[in-house]
Amino acid sequence: MGRISITIEKNLLKEIDKINGENRSKVIREAVEYYIKKYDWLRRIESKLGEVSLIYNPKGKKDIIELESKYKDIIIVSLETRFNNKILRITAIKGDREKIIEFVNKLKGLKNVEMVKLTTISIK
């Protein structure tokens, strides 16, 4: 195995220790592996149908709606519900693969968005 050195925020390090304080390297290795597999999966998406789930702080609603208005050609419908002072929003999407990935990446970059997950559906 190769060896690297990283700098990580203290709060993130505490979260890693909660998962497995005995072996930080293993946790980070598995996270990097997961990230690489996910990135590879995104590059190979063939489906043009799916859904985007996101959890966000209510302060971010305006930015999300504004972004969705720029991608209305791929958005079928969005639904949301509140829980624990957060909002869960599910958006059905259909369209060009590159545009879907672009939309998801822009959602991830919004200030009050805490989690974004893209799920694609393979329909023949």
Convert the pLDDT of each residue in 19-44 to its tens digit. Answer: 877 788 888 888 888 777 666 666 66
Which structural domain, as residue segments, surrounds residue 35? Answer: 10-43
Whether 82 and 25 map to the same domain: the answer is no
Q: pLDDT digit string (tens) for 51-107?
A: 999 999 999 999 999 999 999 999 999 999 999 999 999 999 998 888 988 999 999
Whether 65 and 116 map to the same domain: the answer is yes
CA distances 38 to 22, 35, 45, 85, 112, Å, are 26, 5, 11, 29, 23
Query: How many angstroms separate the CA atoms of 19 and 103, rounded?
Result: 31
Q: Is residue 2 part of a domain?
A: no
Whether 17 and 60 map to the same domain: the answer is no
Asked if 85 and 114 touch (Cβ cutoff 8 Å), the reply is no
Whether 53 and 111 map to the same domain: the answer is yes
Q: Is residue 85 part of a domain?
A: yes
Whether 77 and 34 map to the same domain: the answer is no
Residue 116: other Cβ atoms inside 10 A = 19
Whether 54 and 95 map to the same domain: the answer is yes
Asked if 96 and 49 touch (Cβ cutoff 8 Å), the reply is no
Count up the domains in the chain and report the number.
2
Query: How many angstroms separate the CA atoms of 118 and 86, rounded?
Result: 19
Q: Is residue 1 part of a domain?
A: no
Q: Is residue 116 part of a domain?
A: yes
The SS3 call for residue 52 is strand
pTM, entire model: 0.67
Whether 15 and 70 map to the same domain: the answer is no
